[in-house]
Amino acid sequence: MGIDKVKKISYPILLALLLVLPHFVAEGWISIIIEMFVLAIAATAANLMAGYSGMVSFGVAGFYGAGAYITALLITKAGVPFEISFFAGPVGTAILSLPFGWFCVRRSAVYFSMLSLAFAQLMHLIVFTWYSFTGGDNGIVGIPMPALLGSTFSYYYFALAVMIVCLALMWILINSPFGKAIQALRDNPERAGFVGIDVRKYQLAIFVVGNFFLAAAGSLFCGFNQNVFAEYMHWVKTFDITAVYLLGGIFSFLGPTVGAAIYIFLNKIIIRYTEYWPITLGATIVLITLFMPDGVVGFISKKISGKGRESK
C-alpha cells in the first residue's frame, strides 16, 4: 500500500475525528489541541522558508509575535473588533516584513539567519521597552473576544477552520508554478537564475508569505489566550518552531504539522513528571538531527515507500 493511498484514506478520517473530538475530551485537552493547531500553522509557515526555499530564518518568533501584537493592540488601543483585527495581524506583519525581507534576502545562509535574528530581536526589544504602548514585559492581558468565540469549545472550531484554510493556502502555493520555482531556487539558485527566475524577488515573496502565516498563527494564539507577551517574540520561540518543523520533517508538507502534534504532546506529558523538559527536548533534537534528518514523517515515508528524499 503506497503512501498516497494511506493519505487518501486517513485524511478524511482524521478530519472527521478532529470535528467530533471536542464532544469527547476534557476541556484541558481541547486547549492543548488548539495549541497544536497554532504551532502547526507556524511551523508549516516557517518551513516554507526553510525546507522549501532553503532560507533558515532565525526571526520567525519576531513575526509570529508581531501578528499577535498587531491584533492585540488594534483591539485594546483602537477598539477594532476581533473579526478585523485578526486579519490585520497577518496583513500588517506581511507589510512589515517587506523592508526586513528586502535586506535579508540579499544575504545568504549564515548571514541571512543572523540578519533575520537581528531584526526579530529588535522587534522584541521595541515591544519589551515601549512600556506605555505595548505593556513592556507585562504584555497585554484580558483582551476582549467576541461572544461567539468566548468558550474553548467554540474557539476550537474557529482554530481548526483557520488551520485548514492556512494549510490549504500554503499547499496550493507550494504546488503552484511559484512553489516549484522556489524549490528549484533552493536546490540551485544559480541555475534557477539562468532559467530566468528572479531569485531575490522570489525569495522576498516567500519570506513575506511565510511571515504572513506565522503572524496568522500568532494572532490565532493571541485570540485564544486573550493575551500577548514579549515572550511571543523571544528567540526561544524561534527555536521551538524550528525544532518542530525539523522534528516533523522539512521535506514534506505535513511534516511540520506532525511535528507540532508530537512536540506539544511530548511537552505536556513530560512536564507532568519532571522539570527536566529542556534536556528532553534538546536530546530529542540532537537525536533527530543525527539519525532522522528527514524528520518523523520523512522516516516513516521512507519506510513505507522506499523512496529517498522528496519534496512534496
- Give the CA diameter of the chain: 60
C-beta of 264: minimal distance to another protein in Å? 17
Tell me: does residue 290 bind another protein (CB under 8 A).
yes
**Three cell numbers written together for 34:** 488548539
Tell me: does residue 285 bind another protein (CB under 8 A).
yes
256 Cα distance to chain centroid: 8
**Three cell numbers written together for 110:** 549564515
- Binds another protein (CB under 8 A): choice among 36, 38, 204, 250: 250
Provide the Cα torsion 75, 81, 82, 83; round to 10°: -150
DSSP for 269-287, written as a single string: HHHHH-S-HHHHHHHHHHH
- Binds another protein (CB under 8 A): choice among 7, 107, 191, 201: 107
Listed ranges 24-32, 173-181, 187-195, 234-242: which one lies at the site for another protein (CB under 8 A): 234-242
Region for 175 from its dihedrals, namely left if φ exceeds 0, alpha if ψ lies in -120 to 50, beta otherwise: alpha
**Three cell numbers written together for 273:** 513528571
Q: Which is nearer to another protein, 254 or 293 (CB)?
A: 293
Tell me: does residue 16 bind another protein (CB under 8 A).
no
Q: Which is nearer to another protein, 157 or 276 (CB)?
A: 276
Q: Which is nearer to another protein, 117 or 264 (CB)?
A: 117
C-beta of 54: minimal distance to another protein in Å? 8
Q: Which is nearer to another protein, 70 or 115 (CB)?
A: 115
Q: Which is nearer to another protein, 103 or 178 (CB)?
A: 103
- Binds another protein (CB under 8 A): choice among 6, 56, 91, 164: 56
Tell me: does residue 299 bind another protein (CB under 8 A).
no
Assess contact for 92 and 84: CB atoms under 8 A. Answer: no
Assess contact for 158 and 149: CB atoms under 8 A. Answer: yes
- Binds another protein (CB under 8 A): choice among 72, 246, 264, 297: 246
Tell me: does residue 50 bind another protein (CB under 8 A).
yes
Tell me: does residue 115 bind another protein (CB under 8 A).
yes
Find the angle CA(184)-CA(206)-CA(249) to the nearest 5 degrees: 70
Cα–Cα distance for residue pair 111/103, rounded to 1 Å: 11
Report 257-276 residues binding another protein (CB under 8 A).
276
Instruction: Give residues with Cβ within 8 angstroms of 216, minimum separation 6.
Output: 41, 45, 67, 89, 90, 162, 166
β partners of residue 228: 140
Tell me: does residue 134 bind another protein (CB under 8 A).
no
**Three cell numbers written together for 271:** 512536564
Q: Kindly list the residues in this chain that would bind another protein in the complex (CB under 8 A).
A: 50, 56, 103, 106-107, 109-111, 113-115, 117-119, 121-122, 125-126, 129, 235, 239, 242-243, 246, 250, 276, 278-279, 281-286, 289-290, 293
